[in-house]
A and B are shown apart, each in its own frame.
Chain A
Amino acid sequence: MTTITMTVNGKERSGKAEGRTLLVDFLRTEMGLTGTHVGCDTSQCGCCVVHVNGESVKACATFVSGMDGAEVTTIEGMANDDGSLGVMQASFKEHHGLQCGFCTPGMIMSATDLLANNPSPSEDEIRTWLKGNICRCTGYHNIVKSVQAAAATMAGAREAAE
């Protein structure tokens, strides 16, 4: 066991890990952040997607060893500072982009990363980007709508700021 210290959702946190400890287990058990889920064992479903140093990664296919000093953002860190829902979270609620909610954290983390890379994606680009996030409930229709709407909201906010 070694102690790993990282910045999680803006706060410095430490926890114990073995060599084989996966980031997702560290987050769920050591950090108590159970919003990051495990839906498969082949790194395909994307229920575990978090951001590490600003990029989306699959927390079920990342060892926490060697992550000392990393900046990690999970679904619990996506709300605004005042506690209100972040743009992507609000958009999923507004457009019924979730049903059972299990894939939702990973879906929101991936979609957020998409808009960071491509602020105005086409429908096709959204669908292609979300290849690593499986949803069994929604048929993706309202997820695509949620991401499109979030992109429009963010574009509006950028314009207003300019």
Chain B
Amino acid sequence: MAKDFGIGESVKRSEDVRFVTGNGKYTDDINRPGQTYAYFLRSPVAHATLDSINIDEAKKAPGVVGVFTGQDIADAGLGGVPCGWQITDKHGDPMKEPAHPILAHGKVRHVGDPIVCVVADTYAQARDAAEMIDIDFGQLPAVVDMKAAAEGNPTNVHDEAPDNVCYDWELGDKEAVDSAFAGAAHVTTLELVNNRLVANPMEPRCCIGDWDSSSDDYTLYTTSQNPHVIRLLMGAFVLNIPEHKLRVYAPDVGGGFGAKIYHYAEEAFVTWASKQVRRPIKWTSDRSEAFISDAHGRDQVTKAELAMDAEGKFLALRCDTLANMGAYLSTFAPAIPTWLHGTLLAGQYATPAVHCRVRAMFTNTVPVDAYRGAGRPEATYILERIVNKAAKELGLDQCELRRRNFIRDFPYDTPVAVQYDTGDFDKTLNKAMEISDYANFEQRRQEAASRGKLRGIGLSCYIEACGIAPSSLVGALGARAGLYEAATIRVNPTGSVTVLTGSHSHGQGHETTFAQVVSDALGIPFESVDIVHGDTSKVPFGMGTYGSRSLAVGGSAIVKAVDKVVEKGKKIAAHLLEAAESDIVFEDGQYKVAGTDKAKAFAEVSLAAYVPHNYPIEDVEPGLEETAFYDPKNFTFPAGAYLCEVEVDPETGKVEIIDLFAADDFGNIVNPMIVEGQVHGGLAQGLGQAMLENCVYDEEGQLTSGSYMDYAMPLAGDLPMFTVSSEDGTPCTHNPLGVKGCGEAGAIGSPPALVNAVIDALRDHGIEHIDMPLSPNRVWSAINAASHKQAAE
């Protein structure tokens, strides 16, 4: 065993060789013999009836092999795109769950809603033919603004959802909150917009449907974070194809960030239609198309109120949120503003009473679902902004007010239905203050002022629920699936190991991290471990990668399967060593007879399992392969403290991020290099939300930020080098690795840190809040308005 490759080592990633040489295999790199190409003709309007569709000319166009409409889909009896989570509203009624046909039927409900699909020999031919299609739209008013919708919009996106309400949900003890407010010494209020985002993984979505005429089997190649989930949803709910006839393969996937969790209409279409045209069908999204067909993220508006006593102790928090669902319910959409949001509103604080109300609204916009952090960034943004506003109102330092309210006793039952198993919030705050030299900030502020710049420092203390999730718990909360993970350890006869995991890697480095875990546990060389994922024909089962769950849940399944292998190996070793099984210990890759120097190497025992000549054949089967399913006992709770330091140019309103200091508690860490990389990436997305990114619709429901010309992606020049620390975490108490998850932290903790920093920089202007993104125009306008106000006073 090589110690340099074990748990805790920054092992360089084994997957990188293929990526840096151009040998990655992404879905669009795959081509099937006889492949055709699909072009989806999408709605150019936000809301309209489909009064007529004429496809006659298109059918006759060169190269066309099929033209399909929503009527064809309905005639074939296919199901709609299913939703995987049912919320029960505050009256005990199920949420409104309108149908989501894979091609629009009767009505279109957002710009980008697919109406017709043309399949042709080439992509250009499919697109040429689509231009020959005539559609009569009966234009309807568009529902775009959630607030207006909530105040009574005469137009309904779906007839079955009056007033466009999907559900009206609440969590927490309303009476306790009301009475705490009645007795509060101070109340801070704040209204916030959590801006709508587009996930924008750099690889656009792509899928290939390939029906096999000899076996009647289907293969779907797709850009997915969870191929088994797609197989389940698409097979069982849309196409009625049983699992054994359907293979879903997600090869290398170029980033996901949530947007590739969901089952999308295009996947179901190409799979089904490949049998209709008897040829494979490929669809590759353009980036412009991605903007109007990938699920969006965030998009909430919240009114928050925080009640405190005279010393700044938090008494109660009250939140009223409107959450945009878009035109249809995407796979996890209903769970995001509820169970992934309301449950985190205690944050790191011992607030005794919390109440939150969430109304989920249908609008004529692209469906909204989980995007990196999903619900938890929204909760953190509310809390960490209102706490800073409260600190300012009370004249307290932002760190001090938090310290007065930190939870310090674990396990801790929050008033919003979760139990934090462990944490140390003082420690991460101390660390953040130390690495940022918080104590000497004032000097830096004055130096910046001498250059005409306004310098600010902003704090955010986040906690998130990751490692989702205990199946029985999420089942009770409305999930229509379990959220365990599966793994198989296949020990090959000569002692190398193939790991089949249900976690999907699309940038997270599982091929390295998981191999470290197995190499460490079995005491075999890192290079002898191969990680296989993404293919339902190889991996027994899996729920996939999201919610920072891969190592906490998928890694735990691997550990469980390894344990089973070792247990079986002990039986074999006991036979070979002529010792009692209870005397066998496994350490450093050796089965040893305790207290003796008798031992058999892991590879020797493995070989014996496959060449069972001298073998306990009466008691033990040959072979050495074990599968385990791991269902977590609780969520994991990564937490941390982020300090962001910025400089604002008061003449232009431009914000420069000087540094982002992140002190995270991820529990135990397997590969520090990969963990730091995950934090960096999360920070870039969080800071992008806070400063640059904004998905904007106009009143007609047209997406005005529909390409990189108007949707501002963070570039290298927008960001600084980050200062991150995740050492000495408090290990998770309930999974075998003691890990918590690190994928989303950066995106959760950083937006309020940046906004708090900018508000701090503008301290002399009396500015209380600016909504994200803090674009130069918005910051300048706030300064300009404040200056006029101050001049008038």
- Chain A positions within 8 Å of B, measured between CB atoms, are 20, 28, 33-42, 44-45, 47, 74-76, 78-79, 85, 89-90, 92-94, 96, 98-105, 108, 123-124, 126-128, 130-131, 133-144
Contact = CB atoms under 8 A, between A and B. Distances in A.
A35 B681 contact: no
Nearest to B508: A99
A99 B717 contact: no
Would you list the 6 A-B pairs with minimal beta carbon distance, nearest first?
A35-B22, A102-B254, A101-B19, A100-B507, A139-B684, A99-B507
Nearest to A124: B717
A61 to B, nearest CB: 13
B719 interface: yes
B708 A134 contact: yes
Contact of B202 (A42, A100, A124): A100
Contact of B717 (A35, A100, A131): A131
Given A42-B709, A131-B716, A89 B20 contact: yes
Contact of A40 (B508, B673, B682, B708): B708
B339 to A, nearest CB: 27
B17 interface: yes
B261 to A, nearest CB: 15
B13 interface: yes
A142 to B, nearest CB: 6
B77 interface: no
A41 B19 CA distance: 22
A141 B22 contact: no
A136 B257 contact: yes
A98 B681 CA distance: 10
Interface size class on chain B is: 35 or more
A87 to B, nearest CB: 11
B677 A96 contact: yes
Given A100-B507, A139-B714, 14 more contacts: A33-B22, A47-B202, A90-B20, A96-B677, A99-B681, A101-B18, A102-B202, A105-B22, A126-B716, A136-B713, A137-B677, A138-B684, A139-B722, A142-B680
A56 B714 CA distance: 22
A37 B118 CA distance: 25
A137 to B, nearest CB: 5
Interface of B: 12-13, 15-26, 28-29, 124, 200-204, 252-255, 257, 286-288, 506-509, 673-674, 676-677, 680-685, 707-709, 713-717, 719, 721-722, 746
B431 to A, nearest CB: 19
A93 B22 contact: no
Nearest to B505: A100
Contacts of B717: 124, 127-128, 130-131
B674 A96 contact: yes
B677 A103 contact: no
Nearest to A18: B124
Contacts of A104: 19-20
Contacts of A136: 200-202, 255, 257, 681, 684-685, 713
Contacts of B676: 96
B12 A94 contact: yes
Nearest to B715: A131
Contacts of A127: 715-717, 719
Given A96-B674, A139-B684, A103 B202 contact: yes
A64 to B, nearest CB: 15
A130 B715 contact: yes
Contacts of A90: 20
Contact of A101 (B15, B287, B674): B15
Given A100-B253, A101-B16, A138 B21 contact: no
B202 A34 contact: no
Contacts of B255: 99-100, 102, 136-137
Contacts of A89: 20-21
Contact of A123 (B204, B677, B721): B721
B22 A42 contact: no
26 contacts: A35-B21, A35-B24, A37-B254, A39-B204, A40-B707, A40-B708, A41-B286, A41-B287, A44-B708, A45-B287, A85-B21, A93-B13, A93-B17, A96-B676, A100-B254, A101-B16, A127-B716, A130-B716, A131-B715, A131-B716, A136-B255, A139-B683, A140-B719, A141-B680, A141-B722, A144-B721
A133 B202 CA distance: 10
A134 B19 contact: no
